[in-house]
Structure 1
Amino acid sequence: MKSSLDDYLKKAVSQVDAAMDGFLPLKEERPGSIHEAMRYCVFAGGKRLRPILSLAAAEACGGKRKHALPAACAVELMHTYSLVHDDLPSMDNDDLRRGRPTCHKVYGEGMAVLCGDALLTEAFIVLCHAKSRKRYSVGDMVVELSLTGGSRKLIGGQVLDLEGEGKKLSKDDLVRIHEAKTAALLTASLRLGAMSANAKPRQLAALTKFGHALGLAFQIVDDILDVTQTTENLGKTAGKDQIVEKSTYPSVLGLDESRKEAARLTAEAMGALDIFGEEADPLRKIAGWMLEREY
């Protein structure tokens, strides 16, 4: 099973990277400095989890990957923008991302701010290459991504995260933060992929439930890895949450309970896929891999 999943992931990553290479401005296009920075951040590696989920969701709903590629690339560009800004000295202040120096360490803080802004804007340009379906227009998809990236979700979650530093948060506080951050973007990735395939309402609802549970499980595993893995393995600074006195699932629940909660949420996510047949097997395998991952 692992071999088949590895092949699936590699092929999906290759397709997404090729599509993003075509969508993004070349560094030779003026002003070249910003386009070079954008490409540096986008092609720094990474698991490409969110765009892969978009493609897998489209397939689960009977669609084709090529129709989901604009949505897949758009969510990855939004995700990359959020990482560039999160790493800034005024935010999480990190020097390493995906095993390489962060954008502001290479290009300067001002350029990193503009790079993040440009990637976010580019996400919507790319999404407009999608095709309207019977149930969902391109406008519907733009609204979906806009709401996910705005103050009600992604940015709002970052605000709660910043305000929570140095404070002892409850489990409910953590859930509110990560519903708005990690879970929201994972869910949008799935929903946009499903929309590109003209998903039926019950399919879209099931994938929404799947994404919510999977996103929270993913964050818990991320928090666990932050205290159990090395910087070399993670590709980012290990133990950073402790350094900035940020509440995490291990600090609130303990490692053992955190692992149990991640497993419970993964099982909940799997259950949401019961309405699908074998066409959703890639999603099931990805969920299992996310729970067991070590980086």
Structure 2
Amino acid sequence: MDQSLQSLLLKEQQQLNSALMSYLKGLNIPDRLRESVLYSIEAGGKRLRPLLMKLTCTGLGEDPVKVYPAAIALEMIHTYSLIHDDLPAMDDDTYRRGILTNHKKFDEATAILAGDGLLTNSFHVITTSDLYTDREKVNIVAKLSKASGLEGMVAGQFLDMEAENQDISIKDLENIHHLKTGRLISFAIEIGGFLAGISQAKMEILKKYGDYLGIIFQIQDDILDIEGDQATIGKRVGSDIDNEKSTYPSILGLDGAKQYKAKYVKEAAQCLKEVGLENTDLALISSYLSERDQ
């Protein structure tokens, strides 16, 4: 990874982690449940979704401080989804980010409740913030609940499980990951633009960019499940094949998946150019997402 990009990621992660931990540690939570929540929050993670929100807002000239409540809420929802995805009823994973998954470290009931708590309190972060007007709170909560709920991430996870051991088309696969992964990434980009007061015309371009970025992210995930290093990515390589999941490489072949990703990288770059963000830190992160090794 480029040194300047690594420095950027580290600096932004530290700032986001500080804000996230400040909120969580201020809550009155039973000790074991608190331990479970903090275990998954502190497990690492690149904080890419809140980072995308912040860098979109900053790139458009707005003070990034206003982003923090929404960014914290987004990362809480992402963490809850990982805790639940790892459960035996879902992906049944033992390791996440190089350490035991939450239900292996604690127990299934505690892991479920930790995820439930993170999901529910994410909306508390937004609605109690004094940085947002009432209109902004309603808009952010409405978009976040849709992106993460029955028409977004939850639907995507359901369709992903339903597609196991099935032959599906590339269109169906894109729809699954548009919902499961892309909706929250697109939300991050959209809210960054919304808080910066971007025009509706540019907002539509940003939404497309978020959708493309979600596909790029997922294709690279699928590639890493084949080519990745287990010690680097922090979880078992080859689990998609073992679970007979439909992936971009399984449908298009490994080379075909890489070519498909390259097409969307080009489309995403064009979107950034159209909204004047092509020479910003957001563009650096976009490139990183398509080339990351973890």
TM-score by length of 2: 0.95
Q: How does 1:1-295 map to 2 (within 5 A)?
A: 2-25=2-25, 29-128=28-127, 129=129, 131-132=131-132, 137-277=136-276, 281-295=280-294
Instruction: Give CA-to-partner distance per residue, 1:106-154, whole Å, 9 cap, x none.
Output: 11001111011001012111122263369x5211000010000111111
Given the superposition, is the C-alpha separation of residues 132 and 160 from structure 1 closer, same or farther in structure 2, using an over 3 Å criterion?
A: same
Q: Is the 8 A contact 1:133 1:197 kept in 2?
A: no
Task: Calculate the aligned-residue CA RMSD, in Å.
Answer: 1.8
Q: Is the 8 A contact 2:60 2:277 kept in 1?
A: no
Cα separation, 2, equivalents of 1:107 and 1:197 = 41
Shift of 1:292: 1.5
| Residue correspondences, number | 293
Cα separation, 1, equivalents of 2:258 and 2:29 = 48
Matched residues, percent identical?
A: 39
SS state at 2:178 partner? helix
Cα separation, 2, equivalents of 1:74 and 1:103 = 20
Given the superposition, is the C-alpha separation of residues 278 and 142 from structure 1 closer, same or farther in structure 2, using an over 3 Å criterion?
A: closer
Cα separation, 2, equivalents of 1:51 and 1:197 = 15
Instruction: Give CA-to-partner distance per residue, 1:61-90, whole Å, 9 cap, x none.
Output: 221121111111111111111000000000
Cα separation, 1, equivalents of 2:15 and 2:278 = 19
Cα separation, 2, equivalents of 1:138 and 1:218 = 28
SS state at 2:25 partner? coil
Q: Is the 8 A contact 1:57 1:280 kept in 2?
A: no
Given the superposition, is the C-alpha separation of residues 49 and 130 from structure 1 closer, same or farther in structure 2, using an over 3 Å criterion?
A: farther
Cα separation, 1, equivalents of 2:17 and 2:182 = 23
